[in-house]
């Protein structure tokens, strides 16, 4: 693969779903995932830790390179004293952490408590198949897709939201992020947080339409996510201005992946 095709730092503001990413072959993390999937044998513990070490070193090298390209001295930055934590930001972190924790627990409880319901739905589909009755496979695939989305993002939204909050201290520091000031990690993390919240909201709505008997439980999920989204938008009014490398700079692309 030609090095010029790589997109630096693209993985910093993605949704960590390499299997579905059109840029997997242009991302350092994605390429590492591809290599892992293509292995015939699982990695040994020694190989796992070596890969972690190599990725860590590569991250440091890329960071050092980006700092120098910005005309800054990496050693001078490393020697700067750590700022005192802002009590207001610490309060926000706890607020977001609690909202994220509650949502994750609610998702976990929803799928555990409705295990019998899901099994019943599976039996119903099998019965229709056995009796050669019509099955709406588009609806079924949409339902399965929605469940995958919900489960994948259940913990992710709070993790990225917390990263956005933790970056508020220096989000207006042009010496660190340059110009324009909105192009900083806090806004980038807020953007992918809101994107994944919106995808989760859409997925829950699919479940609500197909499972009206579960509407009350699903409504609670929609309310929790909507409140978190509104809070993030209040804290990061410029989130939409952030340009994510690759995702916001390349033409729309579609790709289907076959897992080995």
- Please give the residue range of the domain that contains residue 150: 87-241
Asked whether the predicted pLDDT for residue 47 surpasses 80, the reply is: no
42/66 same-domain check:
yes
Q: What is the model's pLDDT at position 258? A: 44
Q: What is the mean pLDDT of the chain?
A: 78
Residue 187 CB: number of other CB atoms within 10 A? Answer: 24
128/152 same-domain check:
yes
Asked whether the predicted pLDDT for residue 109 surpasses 60, the reply is: yes
Which residues have CB under 8 Å from 20's CB, separation 6+?
A: 257
Cα–Cα dist 175/171, whole Å: 10
Residue appearing with tokens 């993002």: 153
The first and second tokens of residue 232, run together, are 């993030």
How buried is 84 (Cβ within 10 angstroms: 0-12 exposed, 13-18 middle, 19+ buried)? exposed
Q: How far is CA 151 from CA 12, 157, 189, 209, 217, in A?
A: 21, 11, 20, 18, 16
Boundary (domain end) residue, out of 78, 102, 124: 78
205/122 same-domain check:
yes
58/122 same-domain check:
no
Residue 249 lies in a domain: no
CA torsion through residues 44, 46, 49, 52, sign: negative
CA torsion through residues 57, 63, 65, 67, sign: negative
72/94 same-domain check:
no
Which residues have CB under 8 Å from 196's CB, separation 6+?
A: 15, 153, 156, 157, 160
Residue 106 CB: number of other CB atoms within 10 A? Answer: 15
pTM of the model: 0.74
29/96 same-domain check:
no
Q: What is the pLDDT of residues 149-203, one digit of tens each?
A: 999 999 999 899 988 988 887 665 555 555 677 888 899 999 999 999 999 999 9
Residue 161 lies in a domain: yes
């Amino acid at each position: 693969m030609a090095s010029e095709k790589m997109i630096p730092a693209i993985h910093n503001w993605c949704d960590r779903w390499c299997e579905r990413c059109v840029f997997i072959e242009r991302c350092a993390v994605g390429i590492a995932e591809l290599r892992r999937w293509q292995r015939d044998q699982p990695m040994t513990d020694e190989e796992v830790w070596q890969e972690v070490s190599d990725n860590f070193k590569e991250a440091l090298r890329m960071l050092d390179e980006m700092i120098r390209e910005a005309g800054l001295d990496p050693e001078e930055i490393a020697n700067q004293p750590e700022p005192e934590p802002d009590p207001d930001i610490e309060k926000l972190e706890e607020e977001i952490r609690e909202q994220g924790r509650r949502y994750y627990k609610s998702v976990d409880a929803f799928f555990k408590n409705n295990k019998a319901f899901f099994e019943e739905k599976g039996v119903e589909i099998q019965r229709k198949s056995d009796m050669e009755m019509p099955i709406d496979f588009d609806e079924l695939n949409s339902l399965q897709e929605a469940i995958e989305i919900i489960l994948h993002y259940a913990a992710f939204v709070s993790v990225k939201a917390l990263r956005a909050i933790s970056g508020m201290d220096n989000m207006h520091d042009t010496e660190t992020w340059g110009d324009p000031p909105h192009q900083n990690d806090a806004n980038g993390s807020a953007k992918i947080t809101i994107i994944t919240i919106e995808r989760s909201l859409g997925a829950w709505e699919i479940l609500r339409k197909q499972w009206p008997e579960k509407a009350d439980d699903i409504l609670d999920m929609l309310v929790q996510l909507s409140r978190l989204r509104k809070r993030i938008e209040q804290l990061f009014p410029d989130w939409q201005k952030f340009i994510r490398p690759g995702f916001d700079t390349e033409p729309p692309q579609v790709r289907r992946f076959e897992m080995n």
